[in-house]
């Protein structure tokens, strides 16, 4: 069985950092109307908290993707399980992701959205595990950089469970 061995980021720290990210995004996108895309399902909770801290005329969209990340391919490959509904040609697109691990998913997805003609594409990830990177992808906005530990909660899952935990916890398998 698996168990949570420690709380890595508590509710208070999450709220503080989300407010900071929202303020930064609001400033950077002043005068713009970005399409803000939630990557399902992991970013749902972060997305809901973050968009309420961005006082701009944003538009919502969602996508579900999965990567066949391979160290062999520099671009990786992304499978679109559910596509967004907006035409993003000439639009500013802000992708909201739960965590950047190998970087393969976001590297491929941003390349695809660029190909669709977006005016700009930025990625905001709540968590980042830089030590796990397999490509040169870096997000534009990061909540917290964390060590190489498997984490759950605040949208992140293990076998589809733990997404509803209000904090980020370290999960250990035994």
Q: Would you please indicate which residues are annotated as catalytic (active-site) residues?
A: 101
Compute the least distance from the CB of residue 109 to ligand IMP, in Å. 9
Q: List, in order, residues 6 or more apart from 90 with CB less than 8 Å away.
A: 117, 118, 119
Strands (E), 102-148: 120-128, 141-145
Q: Look at strands 59-67 and 78-82 and give their pairing.
A: antiparallel
Which span (12-20, 26-34, 92-100, 116-124) binds ligand IMP, by CB under 6 A?
92-100
Cα-atom radius of gyration of the chain, to the nearest Å? Answer: 16
Locus of tokens 């030590």: 131
Q: Which is closer to ligand IMP, CB of 32 or CB of 133?
A: 133
Q: Which is closer to ligand IMP, CB of 49 or CB of 101?
A: 101
Compute the least distance from the CB of residue 57 to Mg ion, in Å. 27
Binding residues vs ligand IMP (CB under 6 A): 42, 67, 69, 97-105, 150-152, 156
Binding residues vs Mg ion (CB under 5 A): 42
């Amino acid at each position: 069985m698996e168990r949570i061995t420690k709380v890595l980021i508590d509710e208070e720290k999450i709220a503080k950092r989300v407010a900071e990210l929202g303020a930064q995004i609001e400033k950077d996108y002043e005068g713009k109307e970005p399409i803000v895309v939630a990557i399902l399902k992991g970013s749902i909770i972060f997305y809901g908290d973050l968009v309420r801290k961005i006082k701009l005329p944003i538009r919502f969209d969602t996508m579900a993707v999965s990567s066949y990340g391979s160290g062999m391919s520099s671009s990786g490959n992304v499978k679109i399980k559910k596509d967004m509904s907006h035409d993003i040609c000439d639009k500013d697109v802000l992708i909201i992701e739960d965590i950047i691990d190998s970087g393969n998913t976001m590297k491929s997805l941003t390349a695809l959205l660029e190909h669709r003609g977006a005016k700009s594409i930025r990625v905001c990830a709540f968590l980042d595990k830089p030590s796990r990177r397999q490509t040169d992808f870096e997000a534009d906005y990061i909540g917290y950089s964390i060590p190489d530990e498997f984490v759950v909660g605040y949208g992140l899952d293990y076998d589809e469970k733990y997404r509803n935990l209000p904090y980020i916890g370290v999960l250990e398998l035994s």
